[in-house]
């Protein structure tokens, strides 16, 4: 398997952090409001994790300020202060709106290139207490070791000045790690680096996780990738957001893998959740990972989130989350996440539902099932 293909899968894994929003938060550290209210700046705040965090922080009584270009869903949070500018200090007004401002903490959900992360972190460092940077498990160099923790080797860039993801997104992991380093250098001892895996749940506009329950609800014969025992790590955006609020309330520095559920989950359990949520008795045909790899489903194919639990992918869905759990990360039932993800997709306009953004097309699924049946016949 080529390096570019592995890196492409890593990019697809992390991209959910920059789509849609998630309402309906629960308090992350007990009921009621935080005893010490914080002034929090969010760099971004209008896509997926940003709105989820704002909702969670408001529920705890904190004061929010959003900094972004004002282009994506500017109608959100009319009661929140909004500053407009650009992450790139060389474009337009750049970071000028942040000059002279002080905050207790900053949540950076939008930093993609180290030069820009460095600019914001250095500008804000004298006037903030904590800088929380949302990175990705793609920042790791490899995914072949089950239960690897935050000390595992990280990705590097051949050209540290590059500001493009690359044709096959080969720079994504290295850029994320370089952004982490920029944060840590600007804010030594005051930086919090969070590395999520697949972020899912209601309002995830990537449609990746919702593919499984919506396809399951359609019934018939469904291709189930790999085996029932293949591991699967996901985190509900609402759980992640609530925990980020907790990290800020406790002023917790360090690096954390934000992956869940708390205990290892499997593809078999995920499909059991689909059955519970939909009430359907869809027939699952399990197609081994090796076979899918040979037939193009290797991270550049159409099956979302899943990765073959072998070789270069053996640890893809088995990152250690012990450090994050010790720091208070909690998880709702994956059944709830599955239910809410499906309900959100079904609430979208018909034209949107007719064009899902992820998952096997009926034609591709039928093709793979046919190929697998033929292979089984030859073996028999």
Name the packing angle between helices 267-278 and 334-346 (round to 10°).
50
Question: Quick one: average pLDDT of 150-174?
Answer: 93
Read off the CATH number of the domain in which 181 is found.
Answer: 3.40.50.720
pLDDT reported for residue 380: 56
Domain count, the chain: 1
Residue 17, domain extent: 3-379
- For the residues 281-296, what does the mean pLDDT come to? 95
Least confident of 16-25, 119-128, 129-138, 148-157: 16-25
For residue 134, list its beta bridge partners: 194
Residue pLDDT, tens place only, 200-237: 999 899 999 999 999 999 999 999 999 999 999 999 99
Q: Quick one: DSSP state of residue 187?
A: S
In the block, residue with structure tokens 């009921």: 31
CB-side neighbour CA atoms (13 Å) of 265: 21
Above 60 in pLDDT, residue 142? yes
Average pLDDT in the 186-197 region? 97
Placement of tokens 């959740």 in the chain? 273
Q: Which two tokens stand for residue 355?
A: 């064009």
Q: Where does the pLDDT of residue 32 fall: very low under 50, low under 70, confident under 90, or very high at 90 and above? A: low
Q: Is the pTM of this model over 0.75?
A: yes
The total of other beta-carbon atoms located within 10 Å of residue 3's CB is 10
In whole angstroms, give the CA distance from residue 234 to residue 8.
18
DSSP 83-145: EE--SSTTSTTTTGGGTT--EEEEEES---SHHHHHHHHHHHGGGEEEEEEE--GGGBS---S
Q: Which of the two residues, 167 and 125, has the higher pLDDT score?
A: 125
Position 17 pLDDT exceeds 80? no
Report the distance separating Cα 323 and Cα 104, nearest Å: 24
Q: Distance between CA 113 and CA 266 in Å, rounded?
A: 34
To which H or E segment does residue 370 belong? helix 362-379
Q: Write out pLDDT tens, residues 45-83.
A: 988 889 999 999 999 999 999 999 999 999 999 999 999
Instruction: Summarize pLDDT for 79-110 with one digit per residue, the tens.
Output: 999 999 999 999 999 999 999 999 999 999 99
What are the strands, taking DSSP E only, across the chain?
39-43, 63-68, 81-84, 103-108, 128-134, 191-196, 198-200, 221-225, 231-232, 234-236, 254-258, 265-266, 283-287
Per the structure block, which two tokens stand in for 68?
Answer: 């972004």
pLDDT on residue 152: 98
């Amino acid at each position: 398997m080529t390096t570019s293909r592995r890196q492409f899968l890593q990019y697809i894994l992390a991209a959910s952090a920059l789509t849609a929003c998630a309402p309906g938060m629960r308090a992350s550290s007990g009921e009621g409001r935080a005893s010490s209210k914080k002034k929090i700046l969010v760099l971004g705040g209008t896509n997926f994790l940003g709105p989820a965090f704002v909702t969670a922080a408001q529920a705890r009584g904190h004061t929010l300020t959003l900094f972004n270009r004002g282009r994506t869903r500017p109608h959100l949070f009319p009661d929140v202060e909004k500053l407009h500018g650009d992450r790139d200090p060389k474009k337009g007004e750049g970071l000028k709106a942040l000059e002279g401002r002080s905050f207790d903490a900053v949540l950076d959900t939008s930093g993609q290139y180290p030069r820009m992360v460095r600019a914001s972190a250095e500008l804000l460092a004298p006037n903030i207490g904590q800088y929380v940077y949302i990175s990705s498990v793609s920042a790791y160099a490899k995914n072949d070791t089950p239960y690897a923790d935050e000390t595992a080797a990280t990705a590097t860039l051949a050209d540290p000045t590059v500001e493009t993801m690359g044709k096959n997104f080969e720079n994504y992991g290295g850029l994320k790690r370089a952004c982490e380093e920029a944060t840590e250098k600007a804010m030594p001892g005051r930086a919090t680096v969070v590395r999520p895996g697949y972020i899912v749940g209601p309002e995830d506009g990537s449609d990746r996780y919702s593919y499984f329950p919506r396809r399951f609800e359609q019934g018939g014969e469904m291709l189930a990738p790999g085996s029932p025992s293949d591991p699967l790590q996901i985190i509900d955006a609402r759980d992640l957001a609530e925990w980020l609020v907790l990290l800020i309330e406790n002023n917790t520095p360090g690096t954390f893998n934000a992956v869940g559920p708390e205990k290892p989950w499997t593809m078999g359990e995920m499909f059991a959740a689909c059955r519970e949520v939909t009430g359907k008795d869809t027939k699952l045909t399990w197609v081994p990972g090796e076979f899918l790899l040979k037939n193009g489903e290797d991270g550049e194919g159409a099956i979302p989130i899943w990765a073959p639990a072998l070789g270069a992918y053996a640890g893809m869905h088995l990152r250690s989350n012990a450090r994050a759990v010790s720091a208070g990360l909690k998880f709702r039932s994956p059944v709830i996440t599955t239910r809410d993800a499906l309900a959100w997709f079904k609430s979208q306009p018909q034209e949107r539902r007719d064009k899902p953004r992820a998952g096997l097309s009926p034609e591709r699924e039928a093709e793979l099932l046919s190929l697998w049946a033929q292979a089984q016949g030859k073996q028999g």
